[in-house]
Amino acid sequence: MASLVGSRVERKEDKRFLTGKGRYTADINLANQTYAIFVRSPHARASIKKLNIDKALKSSGVVSILTGKEIADDKIGGLIAGWAIRSEDGTEMKCPGNPPLAKDNVNFVGDPVAVVIAESLAEAKEAAEKVEVDYKVLKAVTSTADAMNGDTIHEGIDKNLCFDWLLGDRQKVKEAFDKADKVISIDIINNRLIPNAMEPRACVADYNAASEEITLYTTSQNPHLSRLIMSAFGNVAPEHKLRVVAPDVGGGFGSKINVYNEDIVCSWAAKKINRAIKWVAERSESFLTDIHGRDHVTHAELAVTKDGKFLGFKNETIANLGAYARVFGTVTPTYLFGPCATGVYEIPAAYTNVKAVYTNTAPVDAYRGAGRPEATYTIERLVEKASMELGIDKTELRIKNFPTAFPFKQTLVHTVDSGDYVAGMEKAKQMADYKGFEARRKESEAKGKLRGIGVTSYFEACGIAPSAAVMSLGCGVGLWESAEVRFNPTGQVTVYTGSHSHGQSHQTTFAQIAADELGVPIENIDIVHGDTDKGTFGMGTYGSRSLAVGGIAIVNACKKIVEKGKRVTAKMLEANPEDVEFKDGEFIVSKSNKKKTIGEVAFACYLPGVRDEMKSPLPEGDEPGLKETSFYDPSNFSFPAGTHIAEVEIDPETGHVKLEKYTACDDFGRIINPMVVEGQVHGGLAQGIGQALYENAEYDETGQLMTGSYMDYTMPRADNFPEFNIGYTCTHATTNPLGVKGCGEAGAIAAPPTVMNAVIDALGGQEVTMPATAEKVWKACKNLKKSNAKAA
């Protein structure tokens, strides 16, 4: 039987999506359901003086209106930060309360203050207009860089500072800098982004008075984690009385990790009114209230010798948390950022200091790459600048500082098990025709255009897992993953996974893995996820962890099935279990022609007896049935890496940047389905290039979101991209049995510095902030003309 792992298997999930039969949360309608509209603060910072619902209550079709007072009276808990981070001085981080409905203060535009529940959506909207809120408007804090000098947003949190965190050794870094021939320094802004999954958030909550159970259908990347948080911290219902279902989910990119206000409010309210409640975000609500990403202001320095060896690295960053710290809000700018900021290089001394600040903007949390794009942008912009200042070729300078052996003990935290960064660089250069660039630059110049080339070498720590490691760093839960493999008596297999697919193709790739492990045709394998009443438990999908953690749990559960199958076969065929081998779905007694198929073994496990004989196929100690579970907790993160190369052409007359070529050469370890991996790379690149050239979330000084719709926030479109040139080097991970590493975030991590390095190269080294819009680039072109004229 040919192995399915490594094959371009077409997706099992596609037919339903292509024929309009997907079932997303907004497609769900329950009998006798009501509709919710949230009344949201129009101010970035205000205290609520008075909230009057009298008029709204009299509006047609209104079922109930609930406010911050009722939710507080019912002792429903608020939203939480999932990671506890300590400051350099040892003090714990400072987090404000974040009630699901604000009672006394609002802290960003969109902060909900009340929910209106009515018989129809139109009636709910009309009544919501009649809720009167008297606000005392206060001065908003919106700037990341100046947040520590602004008014105190949350009582008791001085300087709006959540924590002042340090990773690394300042003294060692000082000593390294003292020895340096040259110090390269850079000031950069990692622009704020809005994830913009195409499916707006939604939820449908239902209460069953007979079983006293709440069911919440919601757009989540991790339904079990949502249930845990809503139960343990939200006090919505005990876990066994709360079912969370995340059906088809239309993209997440990190924005659907969090439990949101609406999930808690609708679940709580459904029980209160004893009816189902449906809420679907309008896109403008998504812009205002989905978590945002990035938003760092960084000063970084690299100490080098004159022949280009890196000696030391320092990174001083202010990270914007927005109004509240949410699930991955505090880890994203710390442990997902700091360790990766030294990049793929041997740097003897390094530190990263992060001051995380509150502002009156939407909460900032994990968005595709989460911390690692910011880290990679910092080091790779710095390295590119070093290559310009030292006059050393940008690829040679990188190679000179790559680790020479693996495992590679990275400067700050990680031990990278495997990789070959030089091979990745060489292959990328070949794919991109790096040698031919100067000729292409001349061709562009002949047309009056400026051409630049940019390089990035990255690694990232993903497969976010090892429980002991993450919990030691402050994570509130262990990040293992579970799988359950159930054989039916007639031979089909259902695999329950705690990972969640919202585009990642688990229904196919996980089935490929199980098919290979069990020797069962892929058509007979179903992958089930996204329902807390079905799978045992799961930590969900983010941080490129589905395959490297969830996939391995499936492998391990399958291996347990095979072990039991060997014992049963031995009993059935009167052989020693040690003599039974398993291959391609058959249990074979070695050196004999005796064998049983896995289907026969499954059947025997469920029907363990024979007519007219007192005989069981089950060995002593084995129970009937064929079902195994695995809770897999890896020993390490996984470390994808690669080199990307971009070429841009700039029209100095208009400032328009055209991305001419984009080459990505990645090492994801073993690849399960090349077609799916290509798709993940393409999508990540589009988001990364979007950050570099198009996307930017902007608030004005009063805290109004200036980019609150697709008319203002530039989403990349089909005509913004060239055809991507992608390739791989594959060094297998040594820390898991499949040798896999993860591929979901690579594009979003590597593309921003790759593209910006190319833009800045074309502009003769002039710094431009992301996104490199035509206006900014046009101004830089004018400066370039001036300085060229002066030089002449």
Partner 1 sequence: MGKISLEVNGRKVEKEASDNTLLSTFLREHLQLTGTHIGCDTSQCGACVVNVDGNSLKSCTALAADVNGSKVTTIEGLETNGKMHPMQEAFKKLHGLQCGFCTPGMVMSAVDLLQKNKKPSDTEIRDWLEGNICRCTGYQNIVAAVKEAATKM
Structure tokens at 530: 């996204």
Structure tokens at 188: 């950069």
CA neighbor of 455 nearest in space, from 664, 210, 280? 664
Q: In the complex with partner 1, which residue's Cβ is closer, 38 or 537?
A: 38
Q: What are phi and psi of 323, to 5 degrees?
A: -75, -30
Q: How far apart are CA 689 and CA 400, in angstroms?
A: 27
Q: In the complex with partner 1, which residue's Cβ is closer, 197 or 475?
A: 197
Give the CA count within 13 Å in the CB-facing half-sphere of 256: 33
Q: In the complex with partner 1, which residue's Cβ is closer, 520 or 689?
A: 689
Q: Give every CB contact of residue 338 below 8 A, 6+ residues apart in sequence.
A: 165, 167, 168, 315, 352, 354, 375, 412, 413
* Secondary structure, 3-state, 694-742: CCCCCECCCCCECCCCCCCCCCCCHHHCCCCEEEECCCCCCCCCCCECC
Q: In the complex with partner 1, which residue's Cβ is closer, 343 or 742?
A: 742
Min separation Cβ 693 and partner 1, Å = 14
Q: How far apart are CA 41 and CA 73, in angstroms?
A: 21
* Residue linked to tokens 């009344």: 39
Min separation Cβ 503 and partner 1, Å = 3
Site residues, partner 1 (CB under 8 A): 10-11, 13-24, 26-27, 122, 196-200, 248-251, 253, 280, 282-284, 502-505, 675-676, 678-679, 682-687, 709-711, 715, 717-719, 721, 723-724, 747
Min separation Cβ 701 and partner 1, Å = 25
Q: Is the peptide bond before 407 cis (omega within 30 degrees of 0)?
A: yes
Min separation Cβ 704 and partner 1, Å = 17
Q: In the complex with partner 1, which residue's Cβ is closer, 111 or 248?
A: 248
Would residue 97 be called left, alpha or beta, if left means φ above 0 and alpha means ψ between -120 and 50 degrees?
Answer: beta
Cβ atoms within 10 A of the Cβ of 171, count? 9
β-pairing, 112-118 vs 34-40, is: antiparallel
Min separation Cβ 266 and partner 1, Å = 19
Give the CA count within 13 Å in the CB-facing half-sphere of 743: 29
Min separation Cβ 169 and partner 1, Å = 40
Q: What angle do CA 613, 615, 616 make, to 5 degrees?
A: 145
Q: In the complex with partner 1, which residue's Cβ is closer, 474 or 744?
A: 744
Q: In the complex with partner 1, which residue's Cβ is closer, 19 or 404?
A: 19
Residue 184 in contact with residue 386, Cβ under 8 Å?
yes
Min separation Cβ 505 and partner 1, Å = 7
Min separation Cβ 173 and partner 1, Å = 38
| Residue 653 DSSP code | T
Edge-to-edge strand ranges of the sheet holding 595-597:
580-583, 586-589, 595-597
Q: In the complex with partner 1, which residue's Cβ is closer, 612 or 719?
A: 719
Q: Is the peptide bond before 247 cis (omega within 30 degrees of 0)?
A: no
Min separation Cβ 438 and partner 1, Å = 27
Distance of CA 700 to the CA centre of its chain: 27
Min separation Cβ 719 and partner 1, Å = 4
Q: How far apart are CA 302 and CA 341, in angstroms?
A: 11
Min separation Cβ 309 and partner 1, Å = 37
CA neighbor of 82 nearest in space, from 363, 341, 499, 294? 363
Residue 364 in contact with residue 322, Cβ under 8 Å?
yes
Q: What totals of helices (H) and strands (E) does the chain contain, helices first?
A: 19, 28
Q: What are phi and psi of 309, to 5 degrees?
A: -85, 135
Min separation Cβ 10 and partner 1, Å = 6
Cβ atoms within 10 A of the Cβ of 524, count? 17
Min separation Cβ 595 and partner 1, Å = 37
Q: In the complex with partner 1, which residue's Cβ is closer, 343 or 747?
A: 747
Min separation Cβ 691 and partner 1, Å = 13
Q: In the complex with partner 1, which residue's Cβ is closer, 22 or 478?
A: 22
Would residue 634 be called left, alpha or beta, if left means φ above 0 and alpha means ψ between -120 and 50 degrees?
Answer: beta
Q: In the complex with partner 1, which residue's Cβ is closer, 68 or 683?
A: 683
Q: In the complex with partner 1, which residue's Cβ is closer, 577 or 679?
A: 679
Q: Which helix (H) or strand (E) holds 665?
A: strand 656-667
Q: In the complex with partner 1, which residue's Cβ is closer, 195 or 333?
A: 195
CA neighbor of 490 nearest in space, from 576, 647, 602? 602
Q: In the complex with partner 1, which residue's Cβ is closer, 15 or 240?
A: 15
Min separation Cβ 745 and partner 1, Å = 13
Q: In the complex with partner 1, which residue's Cβ is closer, 13 or 393?
A: 13
E strand residue ranges, 19-70: 34-40, 46-52, 62-67
Residue 337 in contact with residue 374, Cβ under 8 Å?
yes
Cβ atoms within 10 A of the Cβ of 240, count? 10
Residue 535 in contact with residue 554, Cβ under 8 Å?
no
Min separation Cβ 16 and partner 1, Å = 8
Q: Which helix (H) or strand (E) holds 775?
A: helix 774-791
CA neighbor of 336 nearest in space, from 254, 404, 399? 254
Min separation Cβ 25 and partner 1, Å = 11
For residue 404, the one-letter residue type is: T
Residue 507 in contact with residue 537, Cβ under 8 Å?
no
